[in-house]
Chain A
Amino acid sequence: ETGVTQSPTHLIKTRGQQVTLRCSSQSGHNTVSWYQQALGQGPQFIFQYYREEENGRGNFPPRFSGLQFPNYSSELNVNALELDDSALYLCASSSPGTGLGEQFFGPGTRLTVL
């Protein structure tokens, strides 16, 4: 069974640029959630995708957007990068069968904005 994978591992961008992060969900999981973990903080919920549609969103501006594909993989796009967007971005997958609220996390993508 393949776990949650994310790419790339690390990324360096400059302010104002755009970035795309990718996530492959665990086999059999149809839901993907994205979290931002700033240095020294706990992860914060960005949004969730279920069956290719956004299924819930946290307190993040519209320049954070996403996609989910028919194979349940997902992308997180961030436009007009700001210095505060520097963080570890975590993807988590789940499905109704995995247990209420339980999510399986990938290793994350470390984004640095200069």
Chain B
Amino acid sequence: AQSVTQLDSQVPVFEEAPVELRCNYSSSVSVYLFWYVQYPNQGLQLLLKYLSGSTLVKGINGFEAEFNKSQTSFHLRKPSVHISDTAEYFCAVRGGYGGSQGNLIFGKGTKLSVKP
């Protein structure tokens, strides 16, 4: 069975500082990993995804993540955050339901709070 653990429920950081949001996964099938962002009162927006190939994945808004199979991790990083990055971030792994497109199994989320 697949599962996702987000190790930090809240991460406060100052503007222009680097940030890392941690995610560990468990999967018994081929691993497809995602990071989504949720701004207040909005749905989820895809930041980036790992399906195969290069373990360093670049996404929107300057975010990147590194897939580490040996450590079963997929940490999200940004070298310099902005106030506008304040949001909740969800790591997800593709699950086994829903036919060829699959469902998503989410972690509990990490609230990133960027302070001026």
Write the residues of chain A forming the contact surface with B, with a CB cutoff of 8 angstroms: 4, 31, 33, 35, 40-45, 48, 50, 55-58, 90, 92, 94-96, 98-108
Contacts and interface: CB of A to CB of B under 8 A. Distances in A.
7 contacts: A33-B103, A33-B104, A43-B104, A45-B103, A48-B97, A55-B98, A99-B51
Contact of A42 (B95, B97, B106): B106
B54 interface: no
Contacts of B53: none
A100 B32 contact: yes
Given A96-B101, A102-B46, A43 B106 contact: yes
B90 A33 contact: no
A9 to B, nearest CB: 9
Interface string B100-116: 11111111110000000
B98 A48 contact: yes
Contacts of A99: 49, 51
Interface residues of B, number: 30
A44 B106 contact: yes
B94 A56 contact: no
Contact of A45 (B43, B97, B99): B97
A96 B44 contact: no
Given A45-B95, A100-B51, A56 B108 contact: no
B67 interface: no
A105 B44 contact: yes
A48 B49 CA distance: 21
A1 to B, nearest CB: 15
B106 A57 contact: no
A93 B103 CA distance: 11
Contacts of A45: 95, 97-98, 103-105
Given A42-B109, A48-B101, A100-B94, 17 more contacts: A31-B98, A35-B104, A40-B108, A41-B108, A42-B90, A48-B99, A50-B99, A50-B101, A58-B97, A92-B104, A96-B100, A100-B100, A100-B102, A101-B51, A101-B102, A102-B34, A107-B42
Contacts of A41: 108-109
Contacts of A101: 32, 34, 49, 51, 94, 101-102, 104
